[in-house]
Structure 1
């Protein structure tokens, strides 16, 4: 039985004008990366905001412009970590329909585990296998060099996803470490609410995926979307475009869809054209 979860209310009156401004700002940032590649972090954040914002007026992600925005965000995210792994010299990356020559950056504050997870989720959603493999060869030690403060379980979650994609035998141990690290009684969790409602639920969805538990997967996916909605419905969060799409649950659902799992959750938080891979392969990425 399919469960439908509506998206929390979000104003649309000035959405078109806002999207135009956001698109121009993103384009300008991306075009400037060949001059200053250390702006990759800003370009990544803004391009992801644009991709999610396009789903406000196009909740199914059925328009070409929406797909292009998601591809651009994925490309910037992947380029971020290619540049991070290179300590010197130039790298070549396709971003926003152009081949671009960027400078190696080495570790930066923005090349942290949170950004890596976002880049991984985007590559999953866009079905970019080669980019996923490249991301999964980014050493966790390199992410630590960013100096950004992250709870230890986040590094374990990165390691679990890398182990899954690369077929490593320590997947189970890494996933257990990640899930155990999110336990409410853990005194080292810096933000218990975000951990409980945003960071932990995709781990449980993934757990059911690797166990090939179809019913458990759909229960966990439903719960993750419900938690996402609750988190982004608060007065402090409701007007942030970040909440328009449930990025991590969407990525887990894409993995499951590609593994022929029945997906029994429908929601604007899970744009169906992205979930059901309507666009991948249509255009060079």
Structure 2
């Protein structure tokens, strides 16, 4: 029997106008960001916000425009890391929104930190893009550290755990244990305790349940993760009014992984848009 976790109330009266404005901005940024150090940091965040905002009025992601927005966010983030890891002085050609775009090699950039990498990896898991997942799994940890962004050490172990899992390395368990240990209150120096416990930590446990191939415990942890997500995004009015909380990105990515690994997902929620979870749009867009 499925467990249901309803999404929190979100105002939708102005969403159509917001979507139009966001889409116009996102298209402009995508047309200009390749050669613009000013626009590159905005490209992924704008594309992801547009994808999340689509889910305000299309909570199950059944519209093509919603799927296209999620794919575009995935393509944009992956392109940024492809440019960052390209040989100095060279270029890379990346497909974004059905167009081939040429980006110059950038090397490390301040916005390409471990948090951005995790977001991009989640997006590629949701879109089931194995090629982009492989390339992201090969991004050197040193490049993420060179961003000079300030993070607790746990996130680097989490990056390594995801990379090791995807590449089939034997150290995935050790890396995951290190990541979990790094989320303890005693280990934290920078992350807010609520953000850690309700948003950042649950995907680690979900990956553990996938590795253990434990359907019952996975679904229990998934329901708990969505309840924690809901609690975080309803803690105050500003959060509740933010499109960032409409989709539980990390839990959704892990649910997609679990489903593809043969685990039946028995949790239903608008935080896990059904068409994204079930990969209903397969073949509709050339990646």
TM bucket normalised to smaller:
over 0.9
After superposition, what is the alpha-carbon deviation per residue over 1:206-257, rounded to whole angstroms, capped at 9, x for unaligned?
1111010111100110100000000001223111111000000000000011
Gaps of 5+ in 2: none
Which residue of the other structure, out of 260, 272, 275, is the alignment partner of 1:270?
Answer: 272
> What does residue 55 of structure 1 align with?
55
User: How far off its partner does 1:138 sit?
Assistant: 0.2
1:180 aligns with 2:181: yes
User: How far off its partner does 1:192 sit?
Assistant: 1.1
> What does residue 253 of structure 2 align with?
251
> What does residue 140 of structure 2 align with?
139
Distance 2:111 2:59 in 1: 29
User: How far off its partner does 1:184 sit?
Assistant: 2.3
RMSD: 1.1
> What does residue 221 of structure 1 align with?
222
Distance 1:155 1:99 in 2: 32
> What does residue 158 of structure 1 align with?
159
> What does residue 20 of structure 2 align with?
20
Does the 8 Å contact 1:112/1:148 carry over to 2? Answer: yes
Q: Classify 1:38/1:169 alpha carbon distance in 2 versus 1 (closer, same or farther; 3 Å).
A: farther
Distance 1:123 1:22 in 2: 22
SS in 2 for 1:33: helix
Does the 8 Å contact 1:40/1:76 carry over to 2? Answer: no
SS in 2 for 1:93: strand
1:234 aligns with 2:220: no
Distance 1:190 1:277 in 2: 33
Does the 8 Å contact 1:107/1:146 carry over to 2? Answer: yes
Distance 1:146 1:39 in 2: 17
SS in 1 for 2:189: coil
Q: How many residues align?
A: 285
User: How far off its partner does 1:187 sit?
Assistant: 4.7
Gaps of 5+ in 1: none
